Chain A
Amino acid sequence: MTTVRDSSSAPRPPHQVLDATDIARVVTRIAHEIVERAKGAEDVVLLGIHTRGVHLARRLHAKLTQITGREIPLGTLDITMYRDDLRLKPARALEHTEIPGGGIDGKLVILVDDVLFSGRTIRAALDALSDIGRPRAVQLAVLVDRGHRELPIRADYVGKNLPTSLREAVQVQLSDTDGRDAVLVGDRDYAARSSQALAAQPPADQPLPE
C-alpha cells in the first residue's frame, strides 16, 4: 500500500524556541528559585548530568556563586552504567563522574539536565546517587520539559515547558559544545531524512528556517 504525503505531513525543519538571551535569563531565574526554595542554598550540591547538563550546571553554579557570594559544590554525574537500555545499544564510552570533596551525604542535591523527556535518565541518576551516598533531598532542574514521561518523575525547576509531539525532536545547543546557545524543535523525520540535519545547522548569525 502506498500513501501520499501531503504538504502538512512533511517533516518540519527545526525552529528555534529559545535563543542565547532566553537561556541566560532562564539560568538566572532558576538560580534565584534555588536560593529561595533552599533558603540560601547552604547545603546545596549541584550535579550536572552528562553532557549538556554539565555545562548548564556550570552556568548555574556561576550564577549561584554570584547571588550567594559563596562557593557551591559542583560535580558531574555519568549515568551510563545505570541505564536501562544498555542491552539495546552498543556499549557506550563512560564520561567522567566527579563527586565534590564533601560528598553528598545529608546535602540537598540538585540534578541538572538539559531536556526532561521520558524520565529514564533521571531514574538512572537517582539510582546512581543512592550508590554514592544518602542526600537529604534530591531536586531536579531542567532547561526544557518536553513532556511524555514514562516514569513518575517531575522537575522542581523548569526553564521552559515545551509541549511537543513524539514526532518532534528537541535539541539543546550550548556554546560549550555546539558553538552557540539555542533550543530547537523540529520533526524527528526531518533529522532522519536530511542526513545530520540537526547537526548541520546554519551559522548562528543566519535566521533559521521557519
Chain B
Amino acid sequence: MKRHLVSAADLTRDDALLILDTAEELAQLSGRAVKKLPTLRGRTVVNLFFEDSTRTKTSFEVAEKRLSADVINFSAKGSSVSKGESLKDTALTLQAMGADAVVIRHHASGAPARLAQSDWLHGSVINAGDGTHEHPTQALLDAFTMRRHLNAGAGKDLAGRRITIVGDILHSRVARSNVHLLTTLGAQVTFVAPPTLVPIGIENWPCEVSYDLESVLPKTDALMMLRVQRERMNAAFFPTEREYSRRYGLDGARLAQLPEHAIVMHPGPMVRGMEITAEVADSPRCTVVEQVANGVSVRMAVLYLLLGGAVFADGATEPARPEARTDSSEAAL
C-alpha cells in the first residue's frame, strides 16, 4: 500500500479488500464499553480543513481518538490561512510540529496530491475531499456498506453487483472516487443524471451513463443518491428543482421498482424533498445512518494501515496478509 491515500484509483483490489477487512474487525469496537485501542499512541494526526465539514471531520476525529492518536484540528477560518498563508507554509509549519499524518480537505482539486508529492511533509496525507475531484474514504465506506448488505464476509468483493449513482455527477467527488473503487472491486457502475450534470470526458470512465432513472432501477443492487451541490453551480444546470425532483428524485414509487435486496444510499447531507423524499430517507432500506457509523470504522482502518506500522525508506507500507504470517508459533512479539 502507498504511504498516502489521495485517490481511490491508487488502491489495488488487494489494498481495498485489506482496508475493508480491517474495517470489519474494527467495527466490533463500537459495541464495546471501552471504545479505544492503543495502536497510534504517541502519533500526531492533524485534521487540516480548508472547507466546512462536520460529518467527515468528526468521523476522522472519532477514528483518530479511538486509535489513541493525538489530534490537532486546524481549520482555515481563524487561522493564518485567512491572513494569506500558502499551503506550503502551512505544511512546513505542521511538519515542524511533528505531524505524522495530515487529513486534508481543500476546495481546490489536487491540493492533497500536491501535499503528498511535495517534500514539505514527511507524514502520510489522507484526502478528505478535494474540490470536485475525489473523496476516497467516502468511497471506501460506501463500498463497505454495500459489501455488508450484498456480499458480506472477509475477502469478498462486489463482483457482478450493479451500482447506480444518481444526481450531480459533475460536481461530485463522491461519484468520482466511487467509480474507481467500485470498478476495482468488480462492480458495474451506472451514472444517471441530467446531461448538463454529466462531466465532459465521462466516456473514458469505467461506467455507463443513462438519462432515464426508471429503466435502470429494476437491475440495481445499490442506488446511491447524490446531493445537488448548489454552492458549486455557477450557472443553471436544470430548469427548476421541481423538474429535477420529478425526473431524478427518489420517491416511494421508484423505491418499489428496486429489487427486494437493493439498498438506498446517500453520502449526506440529504436535501429532503429534492433528491430524496422523506418517506424514502426514513425507510429501513436507506443506509444513511449506517454509512456514518461505517465511516468511523473505515477511517480507523485507513489510519491504522497507513500509520500503524513501520514506514520504509521508499515510503511504502506493506501490510502482511494473514497467510504471510509465520512468526506465530515463535511467539516472537
> Within 8 Å CB of A115, what residues of B?
329-331
Does B146 reach chain A (CB closer than 8 Å)? no
- A45-64 contact mask (Cβ, 8 Å, vs B): 1 or 0: 00000111000000000000
User: Are B329 and A92 touching (Cβ within 8 A)?
Assistant: no
User: From residue B63, how far is it (CB to closest CB) to chain A in Å?
Assistant: 13
In angstroms, Cα B329 to Cα A170, docked, is: 7
User: Are B328 and A52 touching (Cβ within 8 A)?
Assistant: yes
User: From residue A136, how far is it (CB to closest CB) to chain B in Å?
Assistant: 17
> Within 8 Å CB of B325, what residues of A?
51, 92
- B300-333 contact mask (Cβ, 8 Å, vs A): 1 or 0: 0000111111101000011111100110111111
Which of B22, B34, B310 contacts A94, CB < 8 Å?
B22
Which of A89, A91, A116, A127 contacts B331, CB < 8 Å?
A116
- The size of the chain B interface, using a CB distance under 8 A, is 36
Which of A52, A93, A116, A118 contacts B320, CB < 8 Å?
A93
User: Are A169 and B304 touching (Cβ within 8 A)?
Assistant: no
Which of A88, A94, A132 contacts B21, CB < 8 Å?
A94
With contact pairs A81-B37, A91-B319 given, residues A117 and B308 touching in the complex (Cβ less than 8 Å): no
B contacts, CB < 8 Å to A: 18, 21-22, 25-26, 28, 32-34, 36-39, 154, 304-310, 312, 317-322, 325-326, 328-333
A contacts, CB < 8 Å to B: 50-52, 78, 81-97, 113-118, 120-121, 124, 127, 131-133, 169-173, 198-199
23 A–B pairs (Cβ distance < 8 Å), ordered by A:
A52-B329, A81-B38, A81-B39, A81-B308, A89-B310, A90-B317, A90-B318, A90-B319, A91-B306, A91-B317, A92-B319, A93-B319, A93-B321, A95-B25, A95-B322, A97-B28, A114-B328, A114-B329, A115-B330, A127-B38, A132-B34, A133-B33, A173-B329
**Seed contacts A89-B310, A90-B318; 10 additional CB < 8 Å A-B pairs:** A81-B308, A82-B38, A91-B307, A93-B322, A94-B22, A96-B154, A97-B28, A124-B333, A127-B38, A198-B326
